[in-house]
Amino acid sequence: MSDEGRTPELPVPPSAGDNPSPGSSEFRWQSFFQRSRDPLFLLDRRRRLLFVNRAWEDLTGVPADQARGLTCTRRAPTMPGPWDAVTRALAPPAEVFEGKPARARRLIAGPGSGRPARRTTMAQETAGMAAPPGERPWEPGCRSWDIDFFPLVDEHGLLGILGRVSPVEPAPVWGDLSLTAALLALHQQAQKEKAKAGSDEQLWEPDVLVALRQRMAQRHRLDQLGSDLPALRQIADQVRLVSQVLVPVLIVGEPGTGKEWLARTIHHHGVAAERPFAVLDCAHLPPEALAAVLFGEGRAPQPHFGTLYLREPAFLPRDLQARLCDRLTTGEGQAQAGPRLIAGSSADLAEHVRAGRLVEELSCMLSTVVLRLPPLRERRADLPWLVERMLERAAAEGRRITVLAPEAWELVRAYSWPGNLRELYEVLAGACARATGERIEAADLPFYLRRAIHLEQTPGPEPAGALPLDRLLAEAERRLIQLALERTGGHKARAADLLAIPRPRLFRRMKALGLAAGDESADETEVQIEPEE
Amino acid sequence: MRHPRLLVCRDEVGIGERLRDLARQRKWFFRSRRRPAACLRLLRRGCPTVLVLGVGGRLIGRALEDEFRLLERVAWLLPDTMMIVVLGREDPALAALAWDLGARYVLTTAQARDWLPDIVVGLMKAAMSCSMSGD
C-alpha cells in the first residue's frame, strides 16, 4: 500500500525525557493508556511503534524509549536486533489495514526478553521448582500471546493501529511439565506430608528415579545401532530426521529385530524426550485398557505421554482403529503437545489391510515414515560387535564374560538365528550363566543350536537302491518330535502345540515310533505357592 | 516352552489373593515376594512370566527407588517379562515413570478391580508368544 499523499499521520510522541505538557490532548491520552493494566501499544500505518505503556514494558522487557520507532513486521529483518521476536509478534494482520479489527495468537520466546526459544536443562528444572508461584522456568521458553488489533480510522483512511496484548497462561496441568519436573514436584509434596506427619522416616531420593530414566536414555543411543550396512546407515539418517518432528513412524521387521529398541531411540532423540515413553501391546491388551491409554478414558487420568509405541496396531479392535483414525485426522494426536505415535509391525501393514484386519486409512496414517529393520541373518558382519554388546548387557547382573571360544564362534556364525537379536541375547545370557570358565565354550550354548548346526552340516546316508519312503517319513517324524520335545524342555503338551497336533495324537505317534510317551496326565502342572523367603 | 508363571511383588495394594485364584484356574505357577531383589532372582529362572508390582499409596516411609529400579532392571535384562504396575494412589508422575521404565500396563487399584485379570491373561499370552519369537 502506498502511503504517499496520505494525511494526516498520528502525532509522533515526544522522545524520552521530552514529556508532553500537562493539559495537552497528547498528555491526556497517554495518561489514560499508562494507567491501563493491559499491555497496550500504538503503531502508525507504516507499522512503526509510536507508543507503549508501562504494562507493555513489564510484559516484554523492552524499555519504551528503545521500543519507539521499531517496525513490527513478520518479515525477517535485514539487520537482526535484540527485540525481533517481540516486533514480529506485534505485526498486524492484513485485514487491519482494511479497517477491520483482528485478533491473532502469536508464539513468542520466554517472558521479558525476546530471546530465542530453547529447551530447559535438568538443572534449570530443579531450580525452577523453587521459583515463585506463577513463574515456570522449567517450561520450554516459548509462550503465546493473544493480540487484539484495533484500526484507528478517520475520513482519510487508516491513521494507525492500537494493540492490546493478553498473555496466554498455560493450563496448570501436569502435562505441561517434563517427567523430571513432575517427579521433583512429587518429592516436594512428600516432604510436606512428612513434615505434617512429624515423621522421621527416610524419604525416597528423586535423583535416583531421574537417574533410572537417564540410564534408559543412555541405552538407546543411535550409535548403538552401529553398522556399516547401507540399510542401517539409512535408518540412522532417517531417525535423525524424524526424531525432530512428531510425525507417525512405522517400524517393520521380523520378530526380535529390535523394533521396540528403535522406537525408544527415536523417542530419546526427539522433541518429546522429556515426557514418558509407553509401549501398548495392541494384540494382547483388553479393548477398554487400550482405550484408556489411547483416548484418556477411564477413572484415572493418564500421564501426558511423549511417545506411544503401538505394538502390532493391526490387532487393535476395529472401533478403536476408527477412533484413532479420527484423532489423527483432526490432528489431535499429533499436535505439538500430543504424543508421537510409533507403530511396530512384523509384517507390512498393507498385508494386514488385505487380510481385512486393519483399516486402510489408519495404515496410511501410521506409515508416514517407514523404517525397515533387517533380520540378523542379513547382518552377519555385525555379529562380533553385537555379541560384544550383548555380553556386556548380560554381564550387568552376573559374571563378566567377554570372549567366545573359537568353536562357540563357529556355531554362532553358522546358525541362522530365526529369532534374531532377541534369540541372540537369550542364548548369550544363558551361556554366560552356564559358563564355568573365563569364556563361553561351545558346550555352554544351548543344545538345540548345536543340534541345528549338526543337522545342517551332516549329510544324510545315501539311500541304497529304492527309496524306503515309509521308513524315511517315520524317521523324519521321529526327528521332528524329538526336536519339539527338546525345544519345550520335554513338555509334551507344549510340544504338541509346537507341532500343531492334538496331544493324544502326539502320544500315539510317540508310542508307535518307540519314543517313551509316559503318562499323559503327568504334564499337568499344579499351582505351586511358595512361602516368602 | 516352559510353564507360565505369575509373580506378584510387594503386594501392598491387596491384589495377591485374586491373582492367586486366577493362577490356579489357569494352571500357572504363582509366586509372591515382598522384596524386589528376591523377585529379580526368581525371574532369572527364565520362563514366560507376568510380574505384577503393587506400589502402595504412601509417599513417605517407603523405598520407591527399589521398586522402580526393579522395573528398569527387568526391562533391560529380561525383556520378555511382562510387567504390570498397580498404584495405590492416583499419581500421573509415578504412573508416567512406570510406563517409561518399561511397564506394559499401569493402573490404579480402582481400575485393577475391573481390569487386572484380563490384562494379566492378555499379557501372559504375549509373554508366551515372546518366548517363541520376540519384538
- pLDDT tens sequence across B46-86: 789 999 999 887 777 777 889 999 999 999 999 999 999 99
DSSP-derived 3-state class of residue B9:
strand
Closest CA to A140 of A165, A166, A167, A107: A107
d(CA A34, CA A416): 79
Among A216, A279, A286, whose Cβ lies nearest the Cβ of B122? Answer: A286
Among A193, A397, A489, whose Cβ lies nearest the Cβ of B77? Answer: A397
Angular region, B14: left φ>0, alpha ψ -120 to 50, beta rest: left
Residue A3's pLDDT is 44
Residue A73's pLDDT is 86
Order of all β-strands in the sheet with A307-311:
A277-281, A307-311, A340-345, A249-252, A369-372
DSSP lists the bridge partners of residue A162 as A42, A150
B residues 4-33 lying closer than 8 A (beta carbon) to A:
20, 23-24, 27-33
A284 touches chain B (CB under 8 A): yes
Task: Inspect the interface and report whether the beta carbons of A281 and B104 lie closer than 8 Å.
Answer: yes
Residue A111's pLDDT is 41
B108 touches chain A (CB under 8 A): yes
Does this complex have an ipTM over 0.90? yes
Burial of A26 (0-12, 13-18, 19+ CB in 10 A): middle
Residue predicted with more confidence, A220 or B134 = A220
| Residue A88 near residue A73 (C-beta atoms within 8 A) | yes
Among A277, A278, A289, whose Cβ lies nearest the Cβ of B119? Answer: A289
Task: Inspect the interface and report whether the beta carbons of A285 and B59 lie closer than 8 Å.
Answer: no
Which chain B residue is nearest to residue A300, measuring alpha carbons? B90
Kindly write down the DSSP assignment for every residue of A64-89, as one continuous string. HHHHTT-B--SSPPSS--TTHHHHHH
Task: Inspect the interface and report whether the beta carbons of B1 and A491 lie closer than 8 Å.
Answer: yes
Q: Which residues of B touch A527 (CB under 8 A)?
A: 20, 23-24, 27-30
Task: Inspect the interface and report whether the beta carbons of A299 and B111 lie closer than 8 Å.
Answer: yes
B133 touches chain A (CB under 8 A): yes
Residue A86's pLDDT is 86
d(CA A530, CA A519): 26
Residue A26's pLDDT is 66
Task: Inspect the interface and report whether the beta carbons of A304 and B96 lie closer than 8 Å.
Answer: yes
Task: Inspect the interface and report whether the beta carbons of B30 and A529 lie closer than 8 Å.
Answer: yes
Could you list the pLDDT tens digit for every one of the 533 residues in chain A? Answer: 444 444 455 555 554 445 556 556 666 777 888 888 889 999 998 999 999 999 999 888 889 998 999 999 877 666 777 788 788 889 998 889 888 888 877 766 544 433 333 333 333 333 333 333 333 323 334 466 888 999 998 888 888 999 999 886 543 334 446 888 888 888 888 888 888 888 888 888 888 898 899 889 889 988 888 777 788 888 888 898 888 788 899 999 999 999 999 999 999 988 888 899 999 999 999 999 999 999 887 667 788 899 999 999 999 999 999 999 888 876 544 444 568 899 999 999 999 999 999 999 999 999 989 999 999 999 888 899 899 989 988 887 666 788 899 999 999 998 989 999 999 998 998 898 888 888 999 999 988 888 776 655 555 555 555 556 777 788 888 888 888 888 887 888 888 888 888 888 888 888 888 776 655 444 433 334 443 33
Angular region, B82: left φ>0, alpha ψ -120 to 50, beta rest: beta
Among A193, A421, A527, whose Cβ lies nearest the Cβ of B30? Answer: A527
Residue A309's pLDDT is 97
Task: Inspect the interface and report whether the beta carbons of B110 and A299 lie closer than 8 Å.
Answer: yes
Which chain A residue is nearest to residue B87, measuring alpha carbons? A300
| Residue B7 near residue B43 (C-beta atoms within 8 A) | yes
Determine if the pTM surpasses 0.80. Answer: no
The mean pLDDT of chain B is 88
| Residue B1 near residue A487 (C-beta atoms within 8 A) | yes
Task: Inspect the interface and report whether the beta carbons of B59 and A423 lie closer than 8 Å.
Answer: no
Residue A524's pLDDT is 38
